[in-house]
Each structure stands twice: as structure tokens, then as C-alpha cells.
């Protein structure tokens, strides 16, 4: 198939970027979206040009590296799918596709489609852990049974890949879903309960410091999350945060 690509090009965070047009012929249905970009880059390189920079690594929908705003939707049109798992059979010959970086004040552009998401790491560093020694001298793993329900629910929250689609999709650039998923995981497990108050306070504080916006419950984050992390997590986080503030 033949595609009209409109891609955001920006040399670095000091220069301004703009949309550039590319016509790409010979795209195959079985290609993934990123393979389509590889194909474009190969063409650009063969013409002596500069390839389009984009983040990617596992190409299996698990590392959270890939991003992209595709026709105004984070990770493109297919629900519950990362860009690397999106395939060209979802598009048709002659389509025009806009490809832009995830946009948020807290995610500055590094180059072309690559943004800096280190703010996410800093939120996690503020408290997303259990303070246990890594010496291995802990109690036996089966000493505290955890109900299957809680374990499964904690697992569901823990499958967040930290890609930033929630932030990019939110009109307020809120990082609530991302932060809430982690807080929920720990609050559901006995091991995480001990430090729950401090964790909620510290992580929320860092989230605000990084310049993410507030949540106005539009639900866009859940709708565009490639891992379909539930918005229930946000309610859980709000509860944790409230409790922590009361009992401070």
C-alpha cells in the first residue's frame, strides 16, 4: 500500500519542530507500525537523509519504550495495543497518517518523536517500593497467604508499562493513572501495606512537582491505555491519599 505520512520532525529541544510530508510506497500488511517506520528510514538513509528518531526496544508491547501519537490517538487506533504491536493491516492504501510525539509539559521533546519521560522515574523513586533489605533473609514466600483475588488485582495494576499514553491522552496531562497503578499494587498486598501512607503522600507530591496536571475524570487515560489499566486505580489512590492525610 501507499501512504501519506505527516511526521513531526524536530532536531532537538532547543529548536522548533514541524510536520513534514513523506509519501511511502510498498508498505505491506504484515508489517508492524514500527517496521513501517524502519522501512521509511531505510529509504531516507538510502537517499542520504536523516532517519526519523523514535523510541522502541522490545517490540512486544511490554517495555513501554514505544509511544507515538498516531492520528491524534496515543498508540494509534487499536484499543489495548502499543504502537509496536499495531500492524499495517489496520490501515488502507492511500491513508494519510499523522505521527507526532506524546505531548506534555512534563515530557519535553528530545528529538523528532522521542520525548523525555524521566519524570515517571522520579515519581517511582519517591516511594514506589517496599523498604525491605535485598539480603534474601526475609521470611518464607508462603508465610503470608494472599487471596487470589487480591493477588490478581495487584497484578493487573502492576502490568502498567510506564509508556505515558495516559498523560498524552489527558487534556490536563495528568499522571494520575500511572501513579495510581503503582500505589494500588502495593496497597492490595500485605507487604506493601506498612508504608502505604508515606508512599501515597510522597508519590503524589512528586507527581505535582513534575508539572503534571490534575485529574478531571474524563477517562481518556483508561480508554487509551495500551494495557487497559483500570480507572478504578485512581479511586483507590484517592482513598489512600485521603487516609494518609487524615492520619498524618
Partner 1 sequence: MDKENKVFSINELAEYLKVSKKTIRRHISSGKIKCSKVGGVYRISQDALDVFLNPDGNFSEPALNINPEKGEAKPFPIDSKVPFGSMENKWKNHKQNINLVSPANKRLIDVIVVGTGLAGASASATLAELGYNVKSFCFQDSSRRAHSIAAQGGINAAKNYQGDGDSVYRLFYDTVKGGDYRSREANVYRLAEVSTNIIDQCVAQGVPFARDYGGLLDNRSFGGVLVSRTFYAKGQTGQQLLLGAYSAMNRQINRGKIEMYSRHEMLELVTVNGKARGIIARNLVNGKLERHAAHAVVIASGGYGNVFFLSTNAMGSNVTASWKIHKKGAYFANPCFTQIHPTCIPVSGENQSKLTLMSESLRNDGRIWVPKKLEDVKKLRLKKIKPTEIKEGDRDYYLERRYPAFGNLVPRDVASRAAKERCDAGFGVNKTGEAVFLDFQSAIIRYGTEKTHSLGGDQNDKENVQNLGKQAIKEKYGNLFQMYEKITDENPYETPMMIYPAVHYTMGGVWVDYNLMTSIPGCYAIGEANFSDHGANRLGASALMQGLADGYFVLPYTIGDYLSADIRTGKISTDSPEFKNAERDVLEKLKGFIQNKGTKPVDYFHKKLGRIMWNKCGMSRNKTDLKKAINEIKELREDFYKNVFVPGELHEFNEELAKAGRVADFLELGELFAIDALEREESCGGHFREEHQTQEGEALRDDQNFNFVSAWEYKKTEKAKLHKEKLKFESVKLKSRSYK
Q: Please state, as a whole number, how many other Cβ atoms lie within 10 Å of the Cβ of residue 91.
A: 21
Partner that binds at residue 238, options partner 1, ligand FES, none, CB closer than 5 to 8 Å by kind: none
Q: Which residue among 28, 50, 57, 152 contacts ligand FES (CB under 6 A)?
A: 57
Closer Cβ to partner 1, 93 or 246, answer by number: 93
Count of positions on this chain that bind ligand FES (CB under 6 A): 13
Q: What is the tally of helices (H) and strands (E) in the chain?
A: 9, 7
Q: Which residue among 58, 144, 151, 209 contacts ligand FES (CB under 6 A)?
A: 58
38 binding ligand FES? (CB under 6 A) = no
CA 148 from chain centre, in angstroms, equals: 27
Q: Which residue among 24, 31, 44, 63 contacts ligand FES (CB under 6 A)?
A: 63
Contact between residue 89 and residue 30 where contact means Cβ atoms under 8 Å apart: yes
- Using alpha carbons, select from 47, 2, 51 the residue that is nearest to residue 24: 2
C-alpha dihedral (187, 221, 117, 54), degrees to nearest 10: 140
**Dihedral pair phi/psi, residue 73, rounded to 5°:** -125, 135
Q: At what angle do helices 176-188 and 196-209 cross, to 10 degrees?
A: 170
Closer Cβ to partner 1, 19 or 132, answer by number: 132
Closer Cβ to partner 1, 65 or 224, answer by number: 65
What's 153-213 look like in SS3? HHHHHHCCCCCCHHHHHCCCCECHHHHHHHHHHHHHCHHHHCCHHHHHHHHHHHHHHCCCE
Closer Cβ to partner 1, 156 or 174, answer by number: 156
Partner that binds at residue 89, options partner 1, ligand FES, none, CB closer than 5 to 8 Å by kind: partner 1
Closer Cβ to partner 1, 16 or 171, answer by number: 16
62 binding ligand FES? (CB under 6 A) = yes
Residues 154-213 binding ligand FES (CB under 6 A) are 161
- Tell me the three state secondary structure of residue 35: helix
Partner that binds at residue 66, options partner 1, ligand FES, none, CB closer than 5 to 8 Å by kind: ligand FES
Q: How far is the CB of 145 from partner 1 (least distance, A)?
A: 3
The cell numbers describing 226, all together, are: 495500551
Closer Cβ to ligand FES, 162 or 213, answer by number: 162
31 binding ligand FES? (CB under 6 A) = no
Residues at the interface with ligand FES (CB under 6 A): 56-59, 61-66, 82, 84, 161
Amino acid at each position: 500500500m501507499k501512504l501519506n505520512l505527516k511526521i513531526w520532525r524536530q532536531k532537538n529541544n532547543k529548536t522548533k519542530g514541524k510536520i513534514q510530508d513523506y509519501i511511502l510506497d510498498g508498505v505491506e500488511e504484515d508489517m508492524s507500525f514500527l517496521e513501517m517506520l524502519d522501512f521509511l528510514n531505510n529509504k531516507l538513509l538510502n537517499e542520504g537523509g536523516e532517519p526519523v528518531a523514535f523510541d522502541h526496544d522490545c517490540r512486544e508491547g511490554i517495555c513501554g519504550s514505544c509511544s507515538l501519537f498516531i492520528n491524534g490517538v496515543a498508540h494509534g487506533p487499536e484499543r489495548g495495543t502499543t504502537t509496536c504491536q499495531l500492524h499495517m493491516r489496520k490501515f488502507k492504501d492511500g491513508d494519510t497518517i499523522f505521527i507526532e510525539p506524546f505531548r506534555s509539559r512534563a515530557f519535553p521533546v528530545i528529538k523528532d518523536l522521542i520525548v523525555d519521560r524521566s519524570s515517571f522515574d522520579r515519581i517511582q523513586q519517591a516511594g514506589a517500593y517496599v523498604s525491605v533489605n535485598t539480603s534474601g533473609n526475609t521470611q518464607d514466600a508462603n508465610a503470608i497467604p494472599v487471596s487470589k483475588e487480591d493477588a490478581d488485582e495487584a497484578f493487573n495494576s502492576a502490568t502498567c508499562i510506564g509508556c505515558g499514553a495516559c498523560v498524552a491522552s489527558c487534556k490536563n496531562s495528568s499522571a494520575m493513572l500511572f501513579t495510581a497503578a503503582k500505589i494500588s499494587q502495593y496497597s492490595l498486598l500485605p507487604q506493601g501495606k506498612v508504608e502505604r501512607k508515606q508512599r501515597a503522600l510522597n508519590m503524589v507530591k512528586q507527581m505535582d512537582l513534575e508539572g503534571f496536571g490534575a485529574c478531571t475524570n474524563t477517562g481518556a487515560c483508561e480508554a487509551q491505555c495500551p494495557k487497559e489499566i483500570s480507572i478504578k486505580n485512581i479511586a483507590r489512590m484517592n482513598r489512600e491519599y485521603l487516609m494518609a492525610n487524615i492520619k498524618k
